[in-house]
C-alpha cells in the first residue's frame, strides 16, 4: 500500500515553512519509506498561492505519481506549487499554485493524464471558492433522466420526441419551440403517466450528498428546469432543495392537452431566476455556482461565480471553462474545497 506523499525539504529548512514545487526546484531525494517523493523548499508564502487546481478521480484511483507529474509539469511552465492537500485520499487533491494562469494549469493536468484515465481537472481562484448559492438544472444533471422522453415512452413515441430533445439540448433548435413541439405530441396522454414516469426517475450519484452538505453549511440550493413542476416539486422535497422552478403542463379531464401553460421557462428564465435569488438572498453572483448540461443552461452558467458543465452536451462543454466530464456530483464539493470528512452524509462510500 502506498502511503500519502512525503515531501522532503533540505535539512536546513525551517519546519514551519511551506513546501512547494517551483521554478527553483532542486533535484528529487528518494526516501526509503516513500518511492514517490519530491524535494524542494520555496520561500514563497502559502498566502501568495492565489489559484488552486483540483484533480478528481472517483472512478479508479488518483495516483500519487500522477499528482507529482502534474506538479513537475506545472513547475516547468513557471508555476510555484504548494504541497498537495488531499481532500479524499486517492480520489481528490488540491494543488495551490501561482505563476501561471488557470487554463494553463488545467490543460497541463489533461496533457499529463493518460488516455485511459478518467480525471477531471478544475482550476480557479482560491478566494471565494466556497459558494453560498447553488442553482442546478434537473434533467441529465440532478437526475439522469429526460422526463419528456420518459413520457414519450408511455405514449409510444419515444424516438420521435428524443430526437427533438437532443437537438434542443445541442442548441440546434430553440428551447421554447422544442418543448412546444414535444408536448403537442403528448396530447391525449392520461395524466397518470406523470406518476408512472416519476417511479422511473434515477437520481444522479452524488446529488443527495451535494445538496445535503451545502445546505448543512448554510448555502441556498435551487432547482431550475425547463421540464415540469410535477417532477421538480418531488425532487425538491426528496433531496432538500430550498426552491424549484419549472414549466407546468396543462391537464384537463385527467389528460394532457398537448399545451404548456405560458410563459414557457427556458434559457433566460434560468438566468433571471439566478439573479432574482441573489437579490432575494443578498448573495453576490461571485458567490454562486450553477450546474447544467444543456444549451438552455448556458446563460446561467455564464453569469454564475462558477459555472460547471456537468457531463455536458458538446456545445456546452465547448463554451465552459469548468467541466466535470467523468465524475459524479460530489466533484462539485471537492472543487469548493470540501474534504471527505466535511461531507454531511457520513456513510458515503467512494
Does 80 or 33 have the greater pLDDT score?
A: 80
Does 32 or 93 have the greater pLDDT score?
A: 93
pLDDT mean across residues, the chain: 87
The proportion of the chain whose per-residue pLDDT surpasses 70, expressed as a percent, equals 85
Does 40 or 322 have the greater pLDDT score?
A: 322
- Check: CB of residue 97 under 8 Å from CB of residue 76: no
Q: What is the mean pLDDT of residues 188-192?
A: 97
Q: Given the DSSP bridges, would you call strands 37-38 and 80-82 parallel, antiparallel or unpaired?
A: unpaired
Indicate the fold that domain 133-342 takes in CATH: Rossmann fold (3.40.50)
Q: Considering the entire predicted model, what is its pTM?
A: 0.87
Task: Report the chain's terminal Cα–Cα distance, integer Å.
Answer: 17
In degrees to the nearest 10, what's the CA dihedral of 118, 306, 234, 225?
-100
Q: Where are the domains of the chain?
A: 6-125, 133-342
pLDDT interval class at 162 (50, 70, 90): confident
pLDDT interval class at 241 (50, 70, 90): very high
**CB half-sphere exposure, 40, CA atoms < 13 A:** 21
State the Cα–Cα distance between residues 29 and 290, nearest whole angstrom: 43
For residue 40, pLDDT beyond 80 = no
Amino acid at each position: 500500500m502506498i502511503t500519502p506523499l512525503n515531501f522532503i525539504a533540505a535539512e536546513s529548512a525551517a519546519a514551519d515553512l511551506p513546501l512547494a514545487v517551483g521554478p527553483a526546484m532542486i533535484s528529487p531525494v528518494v526516501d526509503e519509506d516513500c518511492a514517490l517523493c519530491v524535494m524542494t523548499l520555496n520561500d514563497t508564502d502559502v498566502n501568495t498561492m492565489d489559484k488552486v487546481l483540483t484533480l478528481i478521480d472517483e472512478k479508479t484511483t488518483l495516483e500519487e505519481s500522477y499528482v507529482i507529474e502534474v506538479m513537475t509539469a506545472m513547475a516547468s511552465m513557471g508555476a510555484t506549487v504548494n504541497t498537495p492537500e488531499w481532500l479524499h485520499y486517492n480520489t481528490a487533491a488540491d494543488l495551490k499554485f501561482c505563476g501561471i494562469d488557470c487554463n494553463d494549469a488545467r490543460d497541463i493536468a489533461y496533457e499529463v493524464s493518460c488516455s485511459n484515465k478518467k480525471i477531471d481537472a478544475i482550476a480557479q481562484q482560491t478566494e471565494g471558492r466556497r459558494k453560498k448559492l447553488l442553482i442546478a438544472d434537473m434533467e441529465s444533471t440532478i437526475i439522469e433522466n429526460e422526463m419528456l422522453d420518459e413520457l414519450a415512452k408511455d405514449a409510444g413515441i419515444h424516438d420521435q420526441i428524443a430526437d427533438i430533445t437532443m437537438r434542443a439540448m445541442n442548441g440546434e433548435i430553440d428551447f421554447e419551440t422544442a418543448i412546444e413541439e414535444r408536448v403537442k405530441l403528448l396530447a391525449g396522454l392520461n395524466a397518470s403517466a406523470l406518476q408512472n414516469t416519476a417511479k422511473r426517475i434515477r437520481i444522479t450519484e452524488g446529488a443527495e450528498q451535494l445538496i445535503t452538505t451545502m445546505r448543512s453549511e448554510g448555502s441556498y440550493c435551487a432547482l431550475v428546469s425547463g421540464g415540469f413542476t410535477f417532477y421538480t416539486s418531488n425532487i425538491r422535497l426528496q433531496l432538500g432543495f430550498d426552491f424549484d422552478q419549472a414549466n407546468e403542463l396543462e391537464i384537463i379531464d385527467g389528460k394532457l392537452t398537448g399545451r404548456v401553460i405560458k410563459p414557457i421557462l427556458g434559457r433566460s428564465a434560468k438566468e433571471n431566476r439566478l439573479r432574482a435569488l441573489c437579490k432575494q438572498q443578498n448573495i453576490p453572483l461571485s458567490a454562486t455556482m450553477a450546474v447544467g448540461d444543456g444549451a438552455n443552461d448556458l446563460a446561467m452558467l455564464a453569469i454564475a461565480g462558477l459555472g460547471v458543465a456537468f457531463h455536458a452536451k458538446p456545445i456546452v462543454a465547448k463554451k465552459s471553462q469548468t467541466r466535470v466530464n467523468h465524475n459524479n456530483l460530489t466533484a462539485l464539493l471537492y472543487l469548493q474545497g470540501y474534504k471527505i470528512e466535511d461531507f454531511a452524509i457520513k456513510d458515503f462510500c467512494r
